[in-house]
Amino acid sequence: MDKIINQLFTAIETLIPQYMEIPEDECISHGNLAVCIIDDQGLVHGKMIGTNRPRLRQSYKVAWTKASQVWLTGVKTGAYEKMVFNKEVDENANGIEAPDLIGWEGGQPLSLQDGTILAVGFSGFRGVTDLEIMVKALAMVEQV
């Protein structure tokens, strides 16, 4: 698992420059990004990329919140919030109370080829980009 996680981190770092060229993404955190991955054993893996430590701390806090919500619910962030507010899921059904519920996109379950599920959170770009980077990074790792 450590090897796969480290390969994911490397793949993410290779993708970042192309997204930094998009003004709508660059202006969010100015390249101070974070990823949090919770594996199927409950081990937490994290990586912060950038130089602004206070901003990195904030980005990692958001990435952790996204990943841990996915770990608890098995559902993408944003989608889970809609389920709660549409009363499809009880607010406290998975141990997350409304003030801690994160509706921003960027957290998602990812399945490895062997069926292992990773709960991932990425923070630092627009939510749609956060999701895309993780999917692309996983595809890069699985091609190896």
Q: Which helix (H) or strand (E) holds 56?
A: helix 53-73
Mean pLDDT within 113-125: 96
Are 65 and 38 contacting, i.e. CB atoms less than 8 angstroms apart? no
Q: What is the pLDDT of residue 32?
A: 97
Are 119 and 37 contacting, i.e. CB atoms less than 8 angstroms apart? yes
Q: What is the pLDDT of residue 46?
A: 98
Q: Which helix (H) or strand (E) holds 108?
A: strand 107-111
Q: What is the pLDDT of residues 6-32, one digit of tens each?
A: 999 999 999 999 999 999 999 999 999
* Complete domains list, the chain, with CATH: 2-143 (3.30.450.150)
Q: What is the pLDDT of residues 78-103, one digit of tens each?
A: 999 999 989 999 888 888 887 788 88
| Residue of higher predicted confidence among 104 and 117 | 117
Share of the chain above pLDDT 90, in %: 85
CA dist 92 and 33 (Å) reads: 30
Residue 74 has, within 13 A of its CA and on its CB side, a CA count of: 6
